[in-house]
Structure 1
Amino acid sequence: MGYDAFPGNGSPKINKDYEIAKLEKKVEELERENEILKNFRAFLSQGHARGAGSSKSIGGEIGPIKKACGLMKVSKSGFHEYLSRKKSNAQIEREELEGFAVEAFHRRKGRYGCRRIDRELRKSGIAVSEKRVLRIMQKLGLAGKGATRKRRIQKKIEPGHPRLNLVERAFAVGERNRLWVGDITYIPTREGWLYLAAVIDASSRKVVGWSMSERITEKVATDAIEQAVGREGPPDDGSLVFHDDQGAQYTSRSFHL
């Protein structure tokens, strides 16, 4: 006896349950991918000796190596070859300097340009030229908010996409796809920095979209939200609010819902 034995109007409940199960499965998979990326970050930032550890021990730290390599878009053999490389003193010095520069940049909440970052480094006893700091910041896609202030002020805000005080509006936060929150995480690696942009649904606290890049540009932010829109299919009626930290990646002309 199947569902055809119970005639009635509308779609059978099993169809709705099936769709919900499919969505939940997608969310679970996305959460697993996000956890692997976080573990990958922790593995690289702890300064593991290259070539040390078996595939089993490394996999125990970051999760399935094949899956992790797939998310990072690198081959498994390439990952192991990367771990076996030896660093030159110049490379070690460059990576350490990049780390100091990024730390100083975010300690000042992204407001400082190369000149002020250079001063911050000198106060910490790190002698480096302003030109070198500028090259580092350009390589990592770090731009002080002061440098883009004029552009943001001149940007016309479309009536359908206000930017201020939206989160304080009275609406049902408990409903999915009503409030999304954007976040960018800085991931130190042995080859430099990676930037992970995530879109989180405020109701379910699930990551609904993400993107990763070696440069922190508006593209990493737009790719994340485009993935979220593709996965979730939110209503196109202006009810969805996107909240972010007003960083340059989210206030650029190419970023809009």
Structure 2
Amino acid sequence: MCKVLKVSTSGFYYWLQHPVGARELKERELVGQIKQVHKQSGSRYGSPRISFELRDRGIRASRPRVARLMRKHQIKSIVRKSYRVQTTDSNHSLSVAENHLARDFNADRPAEKWVSDLTYIRTQEGWLYLTIVLDLADRKVVGWALSETMEAEATTVAAWRMAVRNRPLSQELLFHSDRGVQYACSEFRKQLEGKSVLQSMSRKGNCSRQRGSRELLQDPENGTGISL
């Protein structure tokens, strides 16, 4: 049998004495899936983003478990050291929209006014960037994205796609944000094409204050905040 299977006799008897259990097989399969996502990200994704990607693919794996397996199998992400994080880059030559929101945070119906913001979270593995889309009608986060990069596809585009899945557009929508490049770039604006969406951006000089959804999140006393 060993000759037919082309394995050594010692290896065959070791396999008989140490059969691979179902749990170990599942772990091996999960490690393979982790390596696949890690490779597809260019070795940039850490355990938080990999666990989110796996969940989007229908694979249940908690962040602690993914982190443990990555340490065990020495799957390391490439994290650039950063000491000063700037999420809003309004110093660009892209066209910007007028401020149609004009600090009117009232909405009569869902998907009438959305505000969006990109912020950062520091973790032991490096910086993570959180993009949210908030519906002013009920103060609910209808879309969000957690990323290890500030590229539009992984931040504003991903959050927008989730928002329109969770709350499809039936009437005109006003979408407000700061003047950051992630909202002004063609990658994001292509998502708005063919839809009844009026893009709105904060006036020049407001970016440093990160108006919009972050202001709403931090101002619960005035009746505009929400709890996360």
- TM class by shorter chain equals 0.3 to 0.5
- Which structure: greater helix fraction? 1
Task: Give the alignment's TM-score, normalised by structure 2.
Answer: 0.48
Greater RCO, CA 8 A, separation 6+: 2
